[in-house]
Chain A
Amino acid sequence: MNHMRFILFAVLFGVNSISFAQEKTVPVPKEVAQRTFKYGKITPEEFETKISGADSAASAVVLFDVGKAIFELAGRKASFVYVLERHIRYKIINKAGYDFANLEIPLFNINDDESYLDDMEGATYNMENGKVVISKISKSSKFTERRDKNFTIKKFALPNVKEGSIIEFKYKIKSDFLGTLNWHFQKNIPTLYSEYDVSIPQFLKYNMSQTGLIKVASKRELGQQNMVSYYGAATAQIARTQFRIENVPALKVEKYVPTMDEYISKVEFELTSIRMPGQSFMDYIPTWPKVIAKLRGYNNFGGFLAPNDFVKTTVAKIVKQDTKPDSVPFLIFDYVKNNIKWNNQTGIYGSSTSAQQVFEKKTGNAADINLSMLALFKEARVEACPIILSTRENGKHPKYPVLTKFDNVIIDVKIGERHIFFDATNKNHTPDIIAFENLNHEGYRVDFGTNTGSWVNTDEFKISKKNVNGYLTLSKENKLTGKLQTFTTDYIALERRNKQLNSLNEVEYLKSFKADKPGLGISEYKTENIDNPNEPFGESMDVVIEDNVEEAGNLVYFTPLLFERTKENPFKIEDRQYPVDFGHPSEEVYRLTIEIPKEYSFDKLPQNEKISLLEDAAAFSFTVNQEENKISIVSKISFRKSVYSVQEYHDLKELFTNIVRKQAEQIVVKKS
């Protein structure tokens, strides 16, 4: 055992001293030796810092970013205050990096709780004639923007920043908000050294989670801290965790990623309980049963399930004597989604506390709507439970019992042995078609009856389909006329129905539909099942297509898929760091029949092709059939999975390369 002692700094009412006994070293990616930095002490070598490799042209580099966090007993409330002392130094490489010299520190205050800046230093260092010239931040370069009553931003502009400058900030933030502590090891510029050192007294319990592609080595020790406050002195056991990492590359953003937040290398601590000496134990979220009990107790969650006359009379309106029991959940779902409009906000807590309020307002957030539906389900004795989940934008849930990481709620209904998901936030939703944002793979199903919960898979396995059928005739004036029909199902249908729903009217919808399809004229546009989302969504139209058939001497030619052609490969970069997440499996089939004038004849036609990759998880086929002066073409693209791994990326890219190539082939027609 290795003992070390050091003095921590003076607190408001006394002196704290801390001693540590090393407990264990968690086996981690790579141990990094601790480095120490003194404010204002710059070595000439730091001016020579260069980055090689992928980040070689970064606008700036973080030389180090060190955060030391402790808890102090302070203030009139005699409660803990989180104290983060941060010391960060950058080298500015070019002018695009000047923004780092303008520091913004956001501070909050809600009711009695606040965070505030305790100490702040900043300086710019320039190498001039072999000497380091220091420019300190001046008083007139500090600003306080009172954004609104709960939010203040402290702003600092460093002087004399040039290409090659080194800049540095050191500040201390004290905060009454103990709920979540976090530290980002990765930024959008490279970081040479990042350290987070947090000491948590025994009175506070936190759950820790690390996320991101790059894992960080950590070391945990136990120690003691003398806590002196106005109310007396006490010795507290503390747990100190140190994270250190070197050479963290800049975060690169890519497409088809639900949220980049998932991939940033970071650590988060979520408060689970407080036990203050001489005070009652305050338990936050230690176990799932407690999470469930808590949810049940909240007015804006469990409160929706309180016995209620309004719910009774509403159910009586929906469920009549002759209503078949099987159809009850579907009738309730239809009733809710058609009577309450979503206000575009997600959340696990309602803005109201009962179905009655929500139905009176006729609008609400996702929790208002789905929990109202849950209340109706319960009243009608439908076996239903809420599923709380984290949306795609919110990132993956860390899977330990923490409510703050959930941001939406849907309802699970058990019918026989089947589980069906209901999300009544959109009238275009159907049983099992929930908002696309909710397709984030997992949710936590909460059963208030048994006070238990379990993680359930929310992935959509059903293939969403798009079928386009076209019957076109080529005229001698190089126009294509005929009919186009589109049928879509599931999530593709949802997307198209939403587009309709979000357009003011059909004229506006068609205007935007035509916007990227030059030469397309539409008449007789008709939809099928637009208000019946349980059935495939159909659209049909008569079309006249100009400007798409070209002429070259005796030949005319065109790409047969016209506007539906995949023109570009969405995957352009050579290698990818993150999985490709489409959200749901899909299949697109185009069937086109094209008739040419009797006097014309087809030149050699494209060959049939079929490409299947990843054991048929991604496939493309293209077939052409000729019958006298008609050809029929079938192009089919299918992705049978929602998510493709980094290893599968190359195959996916390759498939798209082939789709783009094949769909670009011309149909060539001889005029005589």
Chain B
Amino acid sequence: MKTCLLFVISFSCFISANAQVLYDVSKIPAELLKNASVVIRNEEQVYDVKNPGSAMMEYRTAVTILNKSGDAASNMHEFYNKFSSISDLKASLYDAAGKKIKDYKTSDFRDRSVVSDGTMYQDDRVKYLEFSHTSYPYTIEYSYRVDFTGIRTYPDWYPASTWNQAVETSSFVFKLPQGMTFKYLKSEGLATDSSKVKDKLQYKWSCRNVKALEYEPMSTGMRNVMPWVTLAPNQFEYDNSKANIENWANLGSWMYNLSSGMQELPEAAKVKILNLIKDAKTPEEKISVLYRHLQANTRYVGVQLGIGGYKPIAAEKVFSVNYGDCKALSNYMKAMLEVAGIKSNLVVIGNGMPSLNKNFASVNQANHMILCVPLEKDTTWLECTSQYVPLGYIGNNNSDRTVLLITENGGKLARTPVYNPADNYQKRSARVDLNEEGNADIQIETQYGYAQFEENLRMLIVDPTEQRKSLMNSLSIPNMQIGTLSYLQPDKNTAMLTEKISLKASQLLTKGGDKLFLTLNLLNRQESAVTIVEDRKTSFAVNYSFKDEDEIIYTIPKGYKIEFIPKDISIESEFGKYSAKFTAKDDKLVYTRTKMMVSKKYPPEKYNDFAAFYKKIYQADKQKSILAKME
């Protein structure tokens, strides 16, 4: 799915206060060096709100890079756009002893446009300083000021947000004029220091001596261990638009007003639409016809300019060019449905992001827009940027999360559909006929549903050469020749695709003395184990829930008998379920395997149980049968 920067890049920024601190690396407390590639020596961020539409931020940081894994942290990148400007850029480089090596001026910083993947044009830019210094450790100090003339968000503070990064001190000061309000969320146990300074409310959060965390696989993030604050305005002004976003209802109203009037279509379009649906009887049929029309005639082209990051371009315009971003295409679909007499709502959603926080309305929790069509019996959700997915399938990254419906009565929170393990299925049956020379004829038929449909969707799109190449790389069958292969989506309205492959392979049987060994799980082995992590700190999750069912029927070569088959295996845990069955009859060997995984957020202490579960599956997937020549 293509997302658009509906709710733009969050600013990670800050101020200068203190005079020169000594950046001698030997002064870093020893406990901060453990697991660290980077130590933030001193970071100060001051964000001063002048009024709903303008603010000023001062930022200053000094970062010690201990080794080359930390180099990335030495490069400053500060984003800006039409509604912000960066000034007073300064940087200095220090050696291990804290001796200054070099000063950088504003002119040493470079400036370039920022255009995210899949987007054609947006007005964001970045100022950056990139340098290479190869003797470690070293310290780089930055400071700058940002003036905002349009506000949508306030900055976050999350000083130790990456692995192997320790923090000596960091602070965030937030100033707000009296009479204005804002809201914030913070990490557990973090103290908030609030006071009144002159005519302003001042809030301060800080931390000291935060130890670095070593990389933990499958992590869901460090927010449960590290200090952080997330802020959001209640009122803002941006690109001539005033908003009150105290709650989701208000935020929804603002979005509703931005999009109202954008659904007008010219007469020619209306005629076309009515003609398209003239034979459709039910609302469901009409939706289906129009969604298919949308998929066949439009393409995704992302353009984000100012308020255009939130306001869709007019349906009329999309009708004339047949392209647009997620907002434009969703709004166009909404407009077409309106002509057909069907009501729908634009949906603000975080594609691949966590759910919207019900009690905290802000514009940077989402990056995408889809469409919701409430019908009498059922609600249909439409992902309007894909030319391929079936009606109603919104994809794994949009599923099972809290989203905001934009209605005439303001924003309403809702939940997108959940795809269960049984929805995200893979069902496979294969026949493998082995002859005396050890050659095998293999026929494979597989069905992929929902999330697994999505994963394999690419195969429907690419050309046969590329299909073959991908298959060659994904199947680990030694010495194989692919005969025929086909990918089909039998029903355009169902997220399921079928794969049929016929191939020959000559090395399925491996020799061992005068016996032949056959690894029974030919097609779906879990090839790796997960290493145990001592004293894990962060929670973990698997990508998505799924269920795989495999059946392979082997015909063994003439003149051979089955000398050994493994015992049936069944493994169960809260992470999922696995079973493998082996049966032999005459010259047939039947292997059946099911593996079901549940995607959930698991607490860190469960990780080693998960590793043990994975290891059992790894071993089970290697099981072999032994064939011997008949006397």
List the interface of chain A (C-beta within 8 A of B).
Answer: 54-59, 94-96, 98, 101-102, 135, 138, 140-141, 143, 145-149, 155, 157, 159-163, 252, 341, 343-344, 362-363, 502, 504, 514, 516, 518-519, 547, 550, 552-553, 555, 557, 559, 567-569, 572-574, 602-606, 657, 660-661, 664-668
Contact partner, A162, options B121, B296, B513, B626, Cβ 8 Å = B296
A362 and B517 contact, CB distance less than 8 A: no
Q: How far is the CA of A605 from the CA of B619 in the complex (A)?
A: 25
Task: Output the nearest chain A residue to B297 by Cβ-Cβ distance.
Answer: A162
**What B residues does A157 contact at CB under 8 A?**
120, 301, 321, 323
CB<8 Å pairs between A and B, sample of 26: A57-B462, A57-B463, A58-B463, A95-B388, A95-B461, A141-B321, A143-B120, A145-B113, A147-B112, A157-B120, A159-B323, A161-B323, A162-B296, A341-B135, A343-B134, A550-B624, A552-B564, A552-B626, A553-B563, A568-B478, A660-B507, A661-B506, A664-B478, A664-B510, A666-B510, A666-B511
B322 on the interface (CB 8 Å rule)? yes
A518 with B528: in contact, given A55-B463, A552-B626 (CB under 8 Å)?
yes
B146 on the interface (CB 8 Å rule)? no
**What B residues does A252 contact at CB under 8 A?**
465
Contact partner, B622, options A138, A514, A550, Cβ 8 Å = A550
A557 and B387 contact, CB distance less than 8 A: no
Contact partner, A553, options B121, B476, B481, B564, Cβ 8 Å = B564
B522 on the interface (CB 8 Å rule)? no
B515 on the interface (CB 8 Å rule)? yes
Task: Output the nearest chain A residue to B123 by Cβ-Cβ distance.
Answer: A145
B186 on the interface (CB 8 Å rule)? no
List the interface of chain B (C-beta within 8 A of A).
Answer: 37, 67-69, 110-113, 115, 120-121, 132-135, 296-297, 299, 301, 303, 317, 320-323, 387-388, 461-465, 469, 472-473, 476, 478-479, 481, 506-507, 510-515, 517, 528-529, 531, 563-564, 566, 615, 618-619, 622-626
A668 and B515 contact, CB distance less than 8 A: yes
Contact partner, A95, options B387, B476, B528, B622, Cβ 8 Å = B387
**What B residues does A162 contact at CB under 8 A?**
296-297, 322
B297 and A160 contact, CB distance less than 8 A: yes
**What A residues does B120 contact at CB under 8 A?**
102, 143, 155, 157
Q: How far is the CB of A632 from chain B (nearest CB, A)?
A: 17
Which of B112, B317, B479 gathers most chain A CB within 10 Å?
B479
A504 and B463 contact, CB distance less than 8 A: no
Contact partner, A666, options B110, B303, B479, B517, Cβ 8 Å = B517
Q: How far is the CA of A483 from the CA of B384 in the complex (A)?
A: 60
**What B residues does A135 contact at CB under 8 A?**
321
B513 and A668 contact, CB distance less than 8 A: yes
Task: Output the nearest chain A residue to B516 by Cβ-Cβ distance.
Answer: A666
Q: How far is the CA of A161 from the CA of B507 in the complex (A)?
A: 47
**What A residues does B528 contact at CB under 8 A?**
516, 518
> Which 3 pairs from chain A and chain B are nearest by CB?
A666-B512, A604-B513, A57-B463
What does DSSP make chain B's interface, helix, strand, loop or mixed?
A: mixed
B479 and A54 contact, CB distance less than 8 A: no
B618 and A94 contact, CB distance less than 8 A: no
B296 and A163 contact, CB distance less than 8 A: yes
**What A residues does B615 contact at CB under 8 A?**
547
A668 and B299 contact, CB distance less than 8 A: no
B69 and A95 contact, CB distance less than 8 A: no
**Known contacts A160-B322, A661-B479; 16 further A-B pairs (Cβ under 8 A):** A57-B462, A58-B463, A95-B387, A141-B321, A143-B121, A143-B303, A343-B132, A363-B133, A518-B529, A552-B626, A573-B469, A573-B472, A660-B479, A661-B507, A666-B512, A666-B517
Task: Output the nearest chain B residue to A665 by Cβ-Cβ distance.
Answer: B511
**What B residues does A59 contact at CB under 8 A?**
463
Q: How far is the CA of A182 from the CA of B68 in the complex (A)?
A: 39
Task: Output the nearest chain A residue to B164 by Cβ-Cβ distance.
Answer: A504
B134 and A159 contact, CB distance less than 8 A: no
**What B residues does A504 contact at CB under 8 A?**
37, 67-69
B479 and A657 contact, CB distance less than 8 A: yes
**What B residues does A555 contact at CB under 8 A?**
515, 564, 626
**What A residues does B473 contact at CB under 8 A?**
572
B476 and A567 contact, CB distance less than 8 A: yes
Task: Output the nearest chain A residue to B626 by Cβ-Cβ distance.
Answer: A552
A665 and B321 contact, CB distance less than 8 A: no
A159 and B461 contact, CB distance less than 8 A: no
A603 and B512 contact, CB distance less than 8 A: yes
Q: How far is the CA of A269 from the CA of B465 in the complex (A)?
A: 34
B322 and A161 contact, CB distance less than 8 A: yes
Q: How far is the CA of A299 from the CA of B410 in the complex (A)?
A: 68
**What A residues does B317 contact at CB under 8 A?**
140
Q: How far is the CB of B535 from chain A (nearest CB, A)?
A: 16
Contact partner, A603, options B135, B515, B623, Cβ 8 Å = B515
**What A residues does B113 contact at CB under 8 A?**
145-148
Which of A159, A569, A573 gathers most chain B CB within 10 Å?
A159
Task: Output the nearest chain A residue to B471 by Cβ-Cβ distance.
Answer: A572
A159 with B321: in contact, given A147-B112, A550-B622, A604-B514 (CB under 8 Å)?
yes
**What B residues does A660 contact at CB under 8 A?**
478-479, 507
Q: How far is the CA of A559 from the CA of B622 in the complex (A)?
A: 13
Q: How far is the CB of A571 from chain B (nearest CB, A)?
A: 10
Which of B68, B506, B513, B529 gathers most chain A CB within 10 Å?
B513
Q: How far is the CA of A574 from the CA of B476 in the complex (A)?
A: 17
**What A residues does B623 contact at CB under 8 A?**
550
Q: How far is the CA of A573 from the CA of B132 in the complex (A)?
A: 42
B135 and A362 contact, CB distance less than 8 A: yes
